[in-house]
Amino acid sequence: MAYRITDACNGCGACQKICPVDAIDGEKKELHVIDEARCIECGSCGRICPQQAVQDGFGIACETIKHSKWEKPVFDRKKCMSCTICIDACPVKCLALSEAEAKDPHGYPYLEKEKICLGCGFCAYECPVNAVTMAVPQSVS
């Protein structure tokens, strides 16, 4: 079920800019619209909207979250099979496979481009062995 934008939209265009599949249309300062057929329900529009004008597929309003507080994937190497499903699942392709190490010839996924990660959690959702979890990065104090 696709996301939708309510009348609270002020047309700032932040959602349109972040949408990874170009599913959002609208003129500046006008109500934006999500194309249901294109929406992949990554939720990034909802997290970034300053007006809380985005509702998820169940009609629940999405909470605006500060970008630095968006969840990011954390990988458990002991569980990981190097199957690359997570890398494929990522809509913005921010994951990559590591080089092999001396004692282990397999590569493992890691967050290569943290800045473009949408925090959608598709990598964790699709991992068959639950080797990926989503967590808010801890800031170094």
Instruction: Tell me the window of 18-26, 52-60, 61-69, 133-141 that interacts with other proteins (CB under 8 A).
Output: 18-26
Q: Is 58 in the site for other proteins (CB under 8 A)?
A: no
Q: Is 139 in the site for other proteins (CB under 8 A)?
A: no
Among 11, 13, 107, 121, contact with other proteins (rule: CB under 8 A)? 107
Q: Is 93 in the site for other proteins (CB under 8 A)?
A: yes
d(CA 3, CA 42): 9
d(CA 138, CA 9): 31
Q: Is 91 in the site for other proteins (CB under 8 A)?
A: yes
Number of residues that bind other proteins (CB under 8 A): 29
Instruction: Tell me the window of 3-11, 25-33, 49-57, 103-111 that interacts with other proteins (CB under 8 A).
Output: 103-111
Q: Is 31 in the site for other proteins (CB under 8 A)?
A: no
Q: Is 21 in the site for other proteins (CB under 8 A)?
A: yes
Please give the full DSSP string across the chain, using - where no structure is assigned: ---EE-TT-----HHHHH-TT--EE--TTS--EE-TTT-----HHHHH-TT--EE-TTSPBPPP--GGGS-EEEE-TTT-----HHHHH-TT--EEEPPPBTTB-S--EEES-GGG-----HHHHH-TT--EEEEPPPPP-
Binding residues (CB under 8 A) for other proteins: these are 20-22, 37-38, 40-41, 81-85, 87-88, 90-93, 99-100, 105-107, 122, 125-126, 128-130
